[in-house]
Amino acid sequence: MCRTLALTPAALTQGKEDMTRTLFLLTCLLAACHPAAFSQGSAAKLPEPAALLNQYIQLASVTGSEKEAGVFLSGLCRGKGLHVKVLSSAPDSYNFTASLYPLESRKPNIILLNHLDVVPVAGNSADWLYPPFSGAVADGMVWGRGALDNKGMAIMQLLAVADLVGLAAARDLPYNVTMLSVSSEETGGALGAGLVADRYLGELNPVLVLGEGGSGVSGVLKSAPDRQVFGIEIAQKRGIRVRLSLRVASAGHGSVPPHDYANKAMVAALGRLLDRDPDIKLSDPAKLMFEALGKHESGLRGVAMRHTWLLKLFGGRYLRQEPLIQALVTNTATVTNISNPRLGVNQIPQRVTATLDCRLLPGTTQRSFMRKLRNTLGNKEIELEVLSGFEEGPFTKPEGFFFNALSHAVKRVHPDAVVVPILFPASNDNSHFRAHGVPAYGLLPLYLTEELLRTIHSSNERIPVASLESGISVYGHFLRSILAGKSE
């Protein structure tokens, strides 16, 4: 869901830069003076979730600098009577658990997963109505980097688990409940969820991980565009980064182009890759998603979605029309960089590299994908190197006690909503646990308008104060029903 805004300063003249700075300072000043905006000093007057999020956002935990935010959050958990265990602490990362019972109790554990890190503000502070690390509370929202991804969710989880402390003390509950806060999600999770899943799985004893993933959105059902649809992530595509390198010993002067030279050959190969329509593959998680959505669609569309062989046979145009839908039914390769050694405009470089961000559907092996990629590029001289890749774990079936409890909890708070399983087009920390065979679902348990969704990783990220409360309710219903041994 990474989105970045165009960086304008480089293109600005000095005069425009001055104006931008002035406008930014004015914006900051207005934000500080805004009658409805609260800073840290007045946070005590706010509802508790908003007050805590206000403070948490002010700790700018861009990946690699999560520790201060982690120490703050674990301190809040201790203050609420949770059993905190710091799993790892380093200058560039921090991972901890906060549980109803100590991990040593060895109870089967429900893990609520969140990440401490946020993406940087990519030079666009001037586009923010309130400064990105202010946590300003204004217009019924908490504003700032991480409000949606993923600090708001952490505060909801914390308060939902803390609400059960008394119950856990009074009764010997069948499950432990643990909030797990980790580092480095935004860069792949090697120092966070990856490390925790590799080293602490036995100690955690997880029976379910519930992390980020889908959320409530509208506009999904063509037959009922206003109806809220909550997507619970059951699987995700897995990313592999590939570097292509080509060296062609050619003449060097740009005035007489040789028949073959490095850039020409690379561009031609990439052209073959990008010009072809990728094959449509309906993976098992995608089929489950379409079938569930089809139950709420009318007409031919509904019939085709409920019978996915029809969708595959006749739905090519529909499946390729929207980039998001296409990404859910194809293996994708996006060209993210093409580069040469730095030379003059009249010099022909003999080396060229390109990087591809590739996303593989569940069921596609890295080996088969790379074979197909090589064939499609159609140039044996191009070297392919996998820079990073993930193990694939089994997807988590959308059935049984935990899935039903989560669906019912969403419907308790959002009675008219539809709840469906979804395949997630990107990857997040849930994959580290699925790779170890741990069932994992992904849901930010609140409704988001398209406008709010667009703020994730972008400017003016914010979360409605009311949504913090409704998210806590969803977690609360879910946990209480599980602890009571009932899925509804």
- Interacting residues with Zn ion (CB under 5 A): 149-150, 212
Q: Please, which residue, 212 or 233, has the CB nearer to Zn ion? A: 212
Q: Please, which residue, 8 or 427, has the CB nearer to Zn ion? A: 427
Residues in the chain: 488
The tokens describing 327, both together, are: 């990404």
d(C-alpha 84, C-alpha 104), whole Å: 12
Strand partners, 96: 86, 181
Instruction: Report the 10 Å Cβ neighbour count for 251.
Output: 12
User: What stretches of 237-331 adopt beta strand conformation (E)?
Assistant: 238-247
Residue 150: CB minimum distance to Zn ion, A = 4
Dihedral angle computed from the Cα positions of residues 80, 446, 432 and 174, in that order, rounded to the nearest 10 degrees: 50
Residue 149: CB minimum distance to Zn ion, A = 4
Q: Please, which residue, 59 or 138, has the CB nearer to Zn ion? A: 59
Residue 457: CB minimum distance to Zn ion, A = 9
Q: What stretches of 315-365 show up as alpha helix (H) in DSSP?
A: 316-321, 323-329
Judged on CB neighbours under 10 Å (0-12, 13-18, 19+), 89 is middle
Residue 303: CB minimum distance to Zn ion, A = 36
> 438-473 burial by CB neighbour count: b if 16+ within 10 A, else e?
bbbbbbbbbbbeeebeebbbbbbbbbbbebbbbbbb
Residue 2: CB minimum distance to Zn ion, A = 10
SS3 149: helix
Q: Are 293 and 305 in contact (CB under 8 A)?
A: yes
Strand partners, 209: 111, 440
Q: Please, which residue, 282 or 456, has the CB nearer to Zn ion? A: 456
Residue 201: CB minimum distance to Zn ion, A = 21
Residue 195: CB minimum distance to Zn ion, A = 17
Phi, psi dihedral angles at 71 (to 5 degrees): -65, -40
Q: Please, which residue, 218 or 427, has the CB nearer to Zn ion? A: 427
d(C-alpha 31, C-alpha 54), whole Å: 14
Give Cα 99 distance to the centre of its chain: 24
Q: Please, which residue, 66 or 149, has the CB nearer to Zn ion? A: 149
Residue 476: CB minimum distance to Zn ion, A = 22
Q: Please, which residue, 294 or 442, has the CB nearer to Zn ion? A: 442
Q: Are 419 and 232 in contact (CB under 8 A)?
A: yes
Q: Please, which residue, 350 or 458, has the CB nearer to Zn ion? A: 458
Residue 3: CB minimum distance to Zn ion, A = 13
Q: Please, which residue, 154 or 270, has the CB nearer to Zn ion? A: 154
Cα distances (Å, whole numbers) of residue 82 to 28, 372, 429:
37, 51, 23
